[in-house]
Structure 1
C-alpha cells in the first residue's frame, strides 16, 4: 500500500468512526438522554472530524505545495494552505 492510499484509508476510518458516533448522538437525543452525555459524545464527534481534517491536510500538504505534473502552478500557496489549516482550529 502506498503512502497516499494508506493516508486515505486512515481518513476514511476516522470519518466512518465519526459517522457512527454521530448516529449515536442522534439516537441519544431521540431517547432524551442526559445533556452531559449527549454533549460528551458530540465533542467526540467533533474531535474525530478534526483529526480527519488534520490528516487530510498533513498527508496532502507536500502535494498541494509542489508544482503539478503538467507544469502548472501548485494547487495552493503557503498562505492559502495555512488559511485552510486554520479553518480546522
Structure 2
C-alpha cells in the first residue's frame, strides 16, 4: 500500500471541530481528519479557533502524517479520524 499526502492546507470543519485533509492510498483520495482536541492536547493549539488549529497542524504535520499513515495501513486504507487517544498510544 502506497500512502502519500496532499500538501494543501487542511479544511476547518467548525461544526465538528476538526481539520480535514487528504491522503492518497495507492493513488486514490481518502478523506482524513484530526480533531481539535488532539491538536490542543498534543500540538499546542490554545483553542478550537481555526487559526490556532491550523498553526498546530503545521507544527505537528510530520507526526500527524506518520500516525495517519499507520492508521490507514491498519484499516486497509479507509477514511481516518485522528482523536487525542491515538497520539497518546503512539507515545507509549
- TM norm structure 2: 0.25
Larger radius of gyration: 1
Instruction: Judging by fraction of residues, say which structure has more strand.
Output: 2
